Every structure is written in structure tokens, then in C-alpha cells.
Amino acid sequence: MKTKKAIYQLLLSYEKSYEETKDLEELKTSLGNLILDIENVTPVSPSYSSYLFQMKLDYEHMDRFNALHLVDSLKNFLERLEL
């Protein structure tokens, strides 16, 4: 199981890679796996569950215009996640 810090570092590397390559499909694949990792470390609670659900919806509808918005949302979620 990955730790919160390791997941955050992966997220930063995916963001940097996307900014350099603009490869949306690579980012989408990476973020899909990252969201699964986040689910595995997130405690069950109504607020966390609803936020994760919203991020999954954002992920499903991600395009070039909101890709970095999803990255920012994931960063914010990880920062406030208490493990």
C-alpha cells in the first residue's frame, strides 16, 4: 500500500510530465491508477466518500480544459486527508 506522501509525489510527477508532453491519455491513465491508490488509503467517512465520488466523476469527464483542475483537486484532497 502506498503512503499519502508517496501518492502526492506521484501526483506531482504526473503533473510535471503532463505540462511537458501535453499527453492527455497518459495523464488520464496515471490519474486513474492514482485515484485507486487514494481510495485504498482513505478512511471511510461521508465527507471523504463524497469528495472521492466527485473526483471520479471529474476523472470520467476529464479533457484538456480541466485536466489540471483535477490534479489540483487531488492535491487539495491529499493535503487535507488525515491518516
Model confidence over 18-56: pLDDT tens digits? 999 999 999 999 999 999 999 988 888 888 999 999 999
Q: Give the pLDDT of residue 81.
A: 86
CA dist., res. 68 & res. 63, Å (int): 9
For residue 9, what is its C-alpha cell?
509525489
pTM: 0.86
CB 9 within 8 A of CB 72: no
CB 18 within 8 A of CB 67: yes
CA dist., res. 22 & res. 15, Å (int): 10
CB 83 within 8 A of CB 43: yes
Q: Give the pLDDT of residue 83.
A: 67
